[in-house]
Amino acid sequence: MLTWSELVYRGAILLLGVAFLTNFGTLFARRSAHTLLGTLGSHGSWVLLTVSLALRALARRHFPIQSEFEAVVLFVWTSLTGFVLLERRLKWSAMNVVFLFLAEGALLYSLGLPRDLTPLLPALRSRWLPVHVTLNFAAYAALTLAFVIGLLYLGQEWQLKRKRYTFFYNLLPPLDQLERMVHILLRWGFPLLTLGLIAGSLYARMVWGFFWDWRNPKLTWSFVMWLIYAGYFGLHEFAGWRGRRAVLWTVVGFLALVVNYGISLMVKNPHSFLQQFIG
């Protein structure tokens, strides 16, 4: 039986797929076309995903961050929110294609995840949870978009340095604009990440009685990730890192974010989605 929530969720996947294919098609168009269909796809998908998350939150009567499924969908939703805000302003078809490919991939992956509404863990019943999760996921969205644009920068920089021009040469925006956009996104993402970690730590104090636990790999790795992004600003300000090096650094930061997610899947703690937290 398809519930409303499931139906809307699948519609979102379909529309995002349409958006991806449309944007992919425009790469081959003679004129840099910004098709209505592409915008409708991404915006429509955002609306449906919002509804789907809202229905799930209503069914749960709580913030939907209990299972891996919910985490993935929430991550795609926040990133898509950021993307929709950027898409119309930048009109970078190459960015649209790369981002929509990743987002659609994540959603297709979530299709295979169990979607049952498991009972809420006691530790998650807190007003602090939404604050912590919202801040962190907003940060992830900005950092993910920075990563996508960083990839475009690295591709274009490689072409201009090696003087090897591929199909993408005329599709990619100027280096200067790409680098500036990466920096802007990091200036949003890093403070959000910092606030998210602080909120998480206060939250831990509430439920566990301590601010931080260095034996918890998830917390430790989150700190490493924070250090990497902090390092970006340090190197940018004080060592004058610009261009390729600075952008490569943000790619490293994103890899740390992916590892962080992997840890969530493996460890036994409230950040885990595989094992039930006991006590």
The single-letter code of the amino acid at 58 is L
d(CA 211, CA 225): 18
In whole angstroms, give the CA distance from residue 254 to residue 256: 5
Asked if residue 169 binds another protein (CB under 8 A), the reply is yes
Cβ nearer to another protein, comparing 168 with 261: 168
Phi, psi of 62 (to 5 degrees): -160, 170
Nearer to another protein, 160 or 259 (CB): 160
Window 240 to 279, contacts with another protein (CB under 8 A):
240-245
Q: Which residues are within 8 A (CB) of 231 and not within 5 positions of it... i.e. 6 or more apart? A: 249
Smallest separation, CB 159 to another protein (Å): 8
| Closest CB to another protein among residues 91, 205 | 91
Does the footprint of another protein cover residue 30 (CB under 8 A)?
A: yes
What CA–CA distance (Å, rounded) separates 34 from 126?
A: 44
Among candidate residues 90, 100, 8, 88, the one with its CA nearest the CA of residue 47: 8
Q: Which is nearer to another protein, 113 or 251 (CB)?
A: 251
Type of residue numbered 49: L
- Binding another protein (rule: CB under 8 A), the pick from 174, 191, 234, 262 is 174
Shortest distance, position 246 Cβ to another protein, whole Å: 9
Least CB distance from residue 175 to another protein, whole Å? 5
Nearer to another protein, 43 or 244 (CB): 244
* Helix%, strand%, coil% for the chain, nearest 5: 75, 0, 25
Smallest separation (angstroms) from another protein to the CB of 38: 21
Q: Name which of 243, 60, 254 is nearest 145 in CA terms.
A: 254
- Applying CB under 8 A, does 160 fall inside the site for another protein? yes
Q: Which of 70, 186, 85 is nearest to 130 (CA)?
A: 70
Considering the complex, state which of residue 80 and residue 172 has its C-beta at the smaller distance from another protein. Answer: 172
Residue with smaller CB distance to another protein, 114 or 240 = 240
**Contact, 157 vs 242, CB < 8 A?**
no
Does 165 bind another protein (CB under 8 A)? Our answer is yes
Contact residue for another protein among 3, 109, 176, 206 (CB under 8 A): 176
Q: Which stretch binds another protein (CB under 8 A): 5-13, 47-55, 58-66, 237-245?
A: 237-245
Separation CA 119–CA 37 (nearest Å): 40
**Beta carbons within 8 Å of 217's beta carbon, 6+ residues apart:** 263, 267
Of 41, 173, 189, 200, the residue at the interface with another protein (CB under 8 A) is 173
Distance between terminal CA atoms of the chain?
34
Q: Which of residues 199-218 bind another protein (CB under 8 A)?
A: none
Provide, rounded to whole angstroms, the least separation between the CB of residue 233 and another protein: 15
Q: Which residues contribute to the site for another protein (CB under 8 A)?
A: 30-31, 156, 160-161, 163, 165, 169-170, 172-177, 240-245
